[in-house]
Amino acid sequence: MHRLGDSARDALLCAFVGGVDSIEGCKDRPCRGRMGATGFGVAPGQGTREFYVSNRSGRRAPSLDWPFARHCARAEDLNDVRDLLQVEIQRLGFRYFCCCSHVRPDRPELGAVYLQNYPKTWLLHYQAARLFERDPVFVIGRGFALPFSWSDPRFLALLDADQLAIMAAAAAHGLKHGVTIPLHGPGRYSASCSLIADDPEIDPERVFAAQRYAGEAYEAARALVGPAEGRPCIELARRERECLKLVALGKDDEAIAIILGIGRETVRRHVEMAKERLGVSKRSHAVAYAIYAQAINVEDLFGQ
């Protein structure tokens, strides 16, 4: 199996144009042990191991201790994660998949993930025709929180003529009966995992099972590629985040104090501390920069 280089950009480009030559299955090898990436820890009071992905602040995001997560934790590169995911996705009855960050494949961003086994003819056409600029799964799919079928009338009704043409072109390359699983989360690119079946009747239970595998694989891949280059990651205290979220929703200090059950002066102090951490002087700037610096995400503001 071809091994990717150390460069995240080269790895992403290779993943985009490369195919899966073989599936090696699960290897029994030690974890890479990268600081701030993936590894094993001991669950407090249980003495059992848990797979984790740590973010840039050093906080671990624990995952369920199940075989697929453990195998992902041992992955040495994106090819390994892709192969592990392909085994499970195809076991569930899906022929093709694309688990990726919503970035331009011709100019892949550092920190982005691209795991797929799409037909190479489609990948070459997709890039040559710059279909990524209007890809409805990316453009429209960002607004969905739950898995959706490509044949769902509610999805198709949102597509323009050129986007319907993209779906037709994909179908001509064998990518017809699809379902997309959104992969939303704080401090990362918008992402999704699309699954393609041969049969138009897709079992929802298999989609939900695939959702678990896709989430694990995507997080493991994120740990391997590292954070987005040049993008800050600032962590606010819980109350600072809560106050700033309410500021973003148009609440003044008095309203925030009532909602959170704290004093008005306490609210002001939390907001000022948040501004100081973010290095800004105005509240409006603090909200905008907090989103950019991954201290608050859009779902924090409008997903309530």
User: What CATH number is given to the structural domain containing 195?
Assistant: 3.30.450.80
Residue 160 belongs to some domain of the structure: yes
Q: What percent of the chain has pLDDT over 90?
A: 56
202 vs 37, 152, 171, 226, CA distance in Å? Answer: 35, 12, 16, 34
Q: Which of 204, 225, 246 corresponds to the end of one domain?
A: 225
Specify whether 95 is located in the same domain as 215.
yes
294 lies in which domain range? 238-302
Specify whether 180 is located in the same domain as 88.
yes
Residue 219 belongs to some domain of the structure: yes
The encoded tokens of residue 291 equal 């989103």
Quickly state the pLDDT bin for 228 (edges 50, 70, 90): low
CATH, residue 253:
1.10.10.10
Q: Which of 166, 193, 225 corresponds to the end of one domain?
A: 225
User: Which of 108-112, 173-177, 225-229, 273-277 shows the lowest per-residue confidence on average (mean pLDDT)?
Assistant: 225-229
Specify whether 163 is located in the same domain as 94.
yes
Query: How much is the average pLDDT of 183-188?
Result: 72
Rounded Cα–Cα distance for residues 203 and 234 (Å): 41
Residue 90 belongs to some domain of the structure: yes
Residue 52 belongs to some domain of the structure: no
Is the pLDDT score of 211 beyond 70? yes
Specify whether 101 is located in the same domain as 127.
yes
Quickly state the pLDDT bin for 298 (edges 50, 70, 90): low
For the entire predicted model, the pTM comes to: 0.60
Query: How much is the average pLDDT of 175-204?
Result: 90
Rounded Cα–Cα distance for residues 287 and 275 (Å): 9
Q: What percent of the chain has pLDDT over 70?
A: 73
The predicted structure's pLDDT at residue 94: 98
User: Which of 17-21, 77-81, 116-120, 285-289 shows the lowest per-residue confidence on average (mean pLDDT)?
Assistant: 17-21
Residue 126 belongs to some domain of the structure: yes
The predicted structure's pLDDT at residue 190: 82
pLDDT digits (tens, 9 = 90+) for 146-163: 999 999 999 999 999 999
The predicted structure's pLDDT at residue 148: 96
Residue 43 belongs to some domain of the structure: no
Specify whether 269 is located in the same domain as 124.
no
Quickly state the pLDDT bin for 174 (edges 50, 70, 90): very high
pLDDT digits (tens, 9 = 90+) for 70-111: 999 899 999 999 999 999 999 999 999 999 998 887 776 778
Query: How much is the average pLDDT of 26-52?
Result: 33
Rounded Cα–Cα distance for residues 227 and 37 (Å): 10
Quickly state the pLDDT bin for 303 (edges 50, 70, 90): low
The predicted structure's pLDDT at residue 302: 65
The predicted structure's pLDDT at residue 168: 97
Specify whether 152 is located in the same domain as 13.
yes
Specify whether 169 is located in the same domain as 264.
no
